[in-house]
Amino acid sequence: MSFYRNTVWLVKGLQEYTKSGYEAAAKHFVPADLDVNLNGRSFMVTGANSGIGKAAAQEIAKRGGTVHMVCRNKGRAEAAKGEIVESSKNENVHVHIVDMSSARQVWEFAQSFSQNNTLHVLINNAGCMVNQRELTEEGLEKNFATNTLGTYILTTALIPALKKVEDPRVITVSSGGMLTQKLDVDDLQFEKGTFDGTMAYAQNKRQQVILTERWAAQHKEIHFSSMHPGWADTPAVQTSMPSFHARMKSKLRTEAMGADTVVWLAISAAAAKQPSGLFFQGNEACGAIQLGCQWYFSSPSPLPDRRRSQPQVTQTKKDVLI
Ligand SMILES: NC(=O)c1ccc[n+]([C@@H]2O[C@H](COP(=O)([O-])OP(=O)(O)OC[C@H]3O[C@@H](n4cnc5c(N)ncnc54)[C@H](O)[C@@H]3O)[C@@H](O)[C@H]2O)c1
C-alpha cells in the first residue's frame, strides 16, 4: 500500500466516512425515496444477524418486505430474527444457515433456494477481515473465500432466479478501503510475502467492485451496485480493527447510518434510475474517491450523491484499476 494513498484515504475518511460526514450528507437526502411499501418483494441479506446487515434487514422488514437472512451461526441468527420480527411486526423473516466461506455450502444453498423461493433483491453484506492467514476446509484463504468467492458463487447462482422477477437488484457491500489497493490478480490467495489482513480485505473489496461492473455489463436485466457504508460501529470493526475502533469510537456512524445507502439502493425508485454497475458512497462529497481519482477514476467529479435527482455519474477506469 502506498503511504500517500493511505494518507489521502485516511484524511478524507475522517471528514466524510464518519458520523458527522453522514449528517452533512443527510441534509441532501430525499426522505420520500425510502417511503416504499415492500409487500410482495423478497430480499436476501447475507450476514444479517449483526451490524449493517441486521440494520438493513430491519428497515426492509419494517416496510413489509420478505427477508431471507443468510447467516453462519444459528443461535445468533435466530436471536436477531426475533428482534427484527418484534420491532417490525413482520413475520416474513426467514433464517438460512450458510457459511459463506464454503463454496460448496453456498452453491448448494443457492440451488435449493432458487427452486423453492422468489427473490427480488440480493444484498451481499457478509464480510470479514481475518488478520492471520487461515485456510478454509476447501483450502482457500479465508478472506478471499468469504468476501470474494462466496459473494461470486451466491450471486451467479441466483442470477437465473433474479432474471425471472420485476426490478431485480444486487447490492454488494464493499468498502472505501478498496481505494488503497490496485487489483492484483497474480496472488489471489495471498501466498507471496508477509500476510497482511487489511491488504487482503482491501483486495477483496476491490474485487467486489470489479465483479459488480462485470455483472452489470453481462446481465442488463438486473441492476447491480457496490457501495461503501462509511465507518460504522459494528462487531467487525470492534474485533478486526480494535485500535482503529478505540481511536475512532465517538466518530463512527451507527449501524443504521451504515445501512442507509444499502437500503436506498435496495428499495428506492431513484436508485434503479442510476446506471447499473456503479460504486456508491453513503455520503455526499465522496472526497476520498475524488482525491484518489487521479489513479482510479476517469473524471474528477464526485460519485453519485445518492439522494439527488440529477446525480453526477463517474465511471471507473478499468485499465487503471486492473
Ligand atoms: N463497519 C464498517 O465501518 C464497514 C466499512 C466498510 C465496509 N464494511 C462492510 O460491511 C459489511 C458488514 O460488516 P459490519 O461492519 O456490519 O460487521 P458485522 O461483523 O456486524 O457483520 C458482518 C456479518 O458477516 C457475517 N459473516 C462473516 N463471515 C461469514 C461467513 N463465513 N458466513 C456467513 N456470514 C459471515 C458475520 O457473521 C456478520 O453477520 C462487511 O462486508 C464489511 O466488510 C463495513
Please identify, by atom number, the ligand 1 atom nearest to the C-alpha of residue 142: 31
Which of 95, 173, 226, 263 to mutate to test ligand 1, by most ligand atoms within 8 A of the CB atom?
173
Q: Is the CB of 266 under 6 A from ligand 1?
A: no
pLDDT of 282 reads 56
| pLDDT higher than threshold 50 for residue 322 | no
CA-CA distance, 4 to 255, in Å (whole number)? 29
CA of 128 relative to ligand 1 center, distance in Å: 6
Between 217 and 288, residue with greater pLDDT:
217
CA-CA distance, 233 to 164, in Å (whole number)? 37
pLDDT of 12 reads 76
Q: Domain residues of the chain, as ranges?
A: 3-321
- Looking at the predicted complex, does its ipTM rise above 0.95? yes
CA-CA distance, 176 to 257, in Å (whole number)? 15
Interval 277-300 mean pLDDT: 45
pTM of the model: 0.90
pLDDT digits (tens, 9 = 90+) for 238-276: 999 999 999 999 999 999 999 999 999 999 999 999 999
Q: Is the CB of 259 under 6 A from ligand 1?
A: no
> Please, which pLDDT band fits residue 6 given cuts at 50, 70 and 90?
confident
pLDDT of 5 reads 74
pLDDT digits (tens, 9 = 90+) for 86-120: 999 999 999 999 999 999 999 999 999 999 999 99
CA of 51 relative to ligand 1 center, distance in Å: 7
| pLDDT higher than threshold 50 for residue 295 | no
- Catalytic pick from 4, 17, 22, 201? 201
Average per-residue pLDDT for the chain: 87
Q: Which residue, judged by its Cα, is nearest atom 11 of ligand 1?
A: 125
Q: Is the CB of 265 under 6 A from ligand 1?
A: no
pLDDT of 292 reads 31
Q: Is the CB of 51 under 6 A from ligand 1?
A: yes
One of 3.40.50.1820, 3.40.50.720, 3.40.50.2000, 3.50.50.60 is the CATH number of 3-321, namely: 3.40.50.720
Burial classification of residue 249, based on how many CB atoms lie within 10 Å of its CB (0-12 exposed, 13-18 middle, 19 or more buried) = exposed
Q: Which residue, judged by its Cα, is nearest atom 23 of ligand 1?
A: 47
pLDDT digits (tens, 9 = 90+) for 32-57: 999 999 999 999 999 999 999 999 99
* Annotation says 201 is catalytic: yes
Between 27 and 75, residue with greater pLDDT:
75
> No. of H helices and E strands in the chain?
14, 7
294 contacts: CB under 8 Å, gap ≥ 6: none
CA of 22 relative to ligand 1 center, distance in Å: 20
CA-CA distance, 151 to 251, in Å (whole number)? 30
Kindly tell me the sign of the dihedral angle through the C-alpha atoms of 56, 61, 63, 65.
positive
| pLDDT higher than threshold 60 for residue 304 | no
Tell me which DSSP letter residue 120 carries.
S
Q: Is the CB of 232 under 6 A from ligand 1?
A: yes
Which of 71, 73, 128 to mutate to test ligand 1, by most ligand atoms within 8 A of the CB atom?
128
Please identify, by atom number, the ligand 1 atom nearest to the C-alpha of residue 236: 19
Which of 45, 52, 152 to mutate to test ligand 1, by most ligand atoms within 8 A of the CB atom?
52
Kindly tell me the sign of the dihedral angle through the C-alpha atoms of 189, 190, 195, 201.
negative
